[in-house]
A = this chain, B = another copy of it.
Amino acid sequence: MSDEQGMKRALQAYIDHFNASNPQAISALFADEATVEDPVGTPLISGRTAIAAFYERSVATGARLKLAAPIRGSHGNAAAMAFDVELNMPQGPALIRVIDTFTFDAAGKFTSMRAFWGPGDMELPK
Query: Which residues of A line the B interface, CB within 8 A?
Result: 4-5, 8, 39-42, 68-70, 72-82, 97-99, 101, 116-121
Contact = CB atoms under 8 A, between A and B. Distances in A.
Given A68-B68, A72-B98, A99-B82, A118 B41 contact: no
A116 B41 contact: no
Contacts of A5: 120
A96 B121 CA distance: 25
A71 to B, nearest CB: 9
A116 B97 contact: no
Interface of A is mostly: mixed
- Residue in A5, A69, A97, A99 whose Cβ sees the most chain B Cβ within 10 Å: A99
A27 to B, nearest CB: 23
A72 B116 contact: yes
A40 B76 contact: yes
A76 B121 contact: no
B120 A4 contact: yes
B120 A73 contact: yes
B82 A118 contact: no
B121 A72 contact: yes
B41 A75 contact: yes
